Structure 1
Amino acid sequence: MPYYMFQWKYKNEAVKALVQTPQDRAAELRKVVQAFGGRLHEFFFAFGDYDGVSIVEFPNNERCAACATTLTGAGANDLFRTTVLLTGDEAKAALAMANATNPDYAPPTGYTHHS
């Protein structure tokens, strides 16, 4: 099954609610991910640009998108990002395919490579 990374930033009101009433947000995310046939691998709160990061797995993009839409539709986040992840083997296979296919792609006209 494909892997994905969810990253989110809570709205200020949601952070205030979490401070006033600490909650197991991993359990809530796990419940929603499982409802769409997925699996929650990791859940982290974070400092920096995002308040949280999780690694999830779904049977396909449609199920992941449905889950992400449900999460964003709940309205607690200022920002929610989904990133498709590749395993090392998947990346190696993609690189080999790119090498074997060699479609003779040309960069944009006028592009100059700067080292």
Structure 2
Amino acid sequence: MPLYLSKFSYTPETWARLIRNPEDRRVAAQAYIESVGGKLHGFWYAFGAHDGFTLWEAPDDVSMAAVALALSGGGAISALETTVLLTVDETMDALHKAAQVQYRAPGT
């Protein structure tokens, strides 16, 4: 199954609610991804441009998109970016296929 790395930021209101009532959000994240047949591999909070990161496994892009849409529409997250991760083998396959693409630079 494909892997996905998500970067997220909470709204100030979400942080205020978590301060008043601390909650391990890994449990919720795990339930979200499992509802579409996936798996949560990791959940981390961070300092910097984003408040946290998750590493998910999902059956396909549509399933991961469903989770991302539900999270984005829930109102607790101010930003969510999800990146599809490729294995080295998948990247090697893409490199071999790229050799078959007859690319032409604009204006040439």
Q: TM-score, normalised by structure 2?
A: 0.93
What letter corresponds to residue 104 of structure 2 in structure 1?
A: A
Identity, % of aligned positions: 38
Structure 1 segments (4+ residues) deviating >4 Å? none
Larger Rg: 1
Q: Which amino acid aligns with 1:8?
A: F
Write the letter of the residue equivalent to 1:30: Q
List gaps (5 residues or longer) in structure 2: none
Cα offset, 1:95, TM superposition: 1.0
1:107 offset after TM fit, Å? 2.2
1:30-69 to 2 correspondences below 5 Å: 30-69=30-69
Listed one character per residue, the Cα deviations across residues 34-74 of structure 1 (whole Å, up to 9, x for unaligned) are: 00111101110111111010110111111111111111111
Paired residue secondary structure (2:78) = strand
Q: Find 2:105's aligned residue among 98, 104, 107.
A: 107
Q: Is structure 2 residue 91 aligned with structure 1 residue 91?
A: yes
Quote the RMSD (CA, aligned, Å): 1.3
Matches of 1:17 and 1:108, distance apart in 2: 52
Query: What runs of 5+ residues in structure 1 fail to find an aligned partner?
Result: 111-115
Query: Within 2, Cα distance between the matches of 1:36 and 1:50?
Result: 25
CA distance in 1, matches of 2:56, 2:106: 36
C-alpha distance in 2, partners of 1:75/1:107?
43
Deviations, residues 77-115 of structure 1 (Å, cap 9, x unaligned): 11111111101111111112212x141x122338xxxxx
Give the Cα–Cα distance (whole angstroms) in 2 for the partners of residues 29 and 102 of structure 1. 39
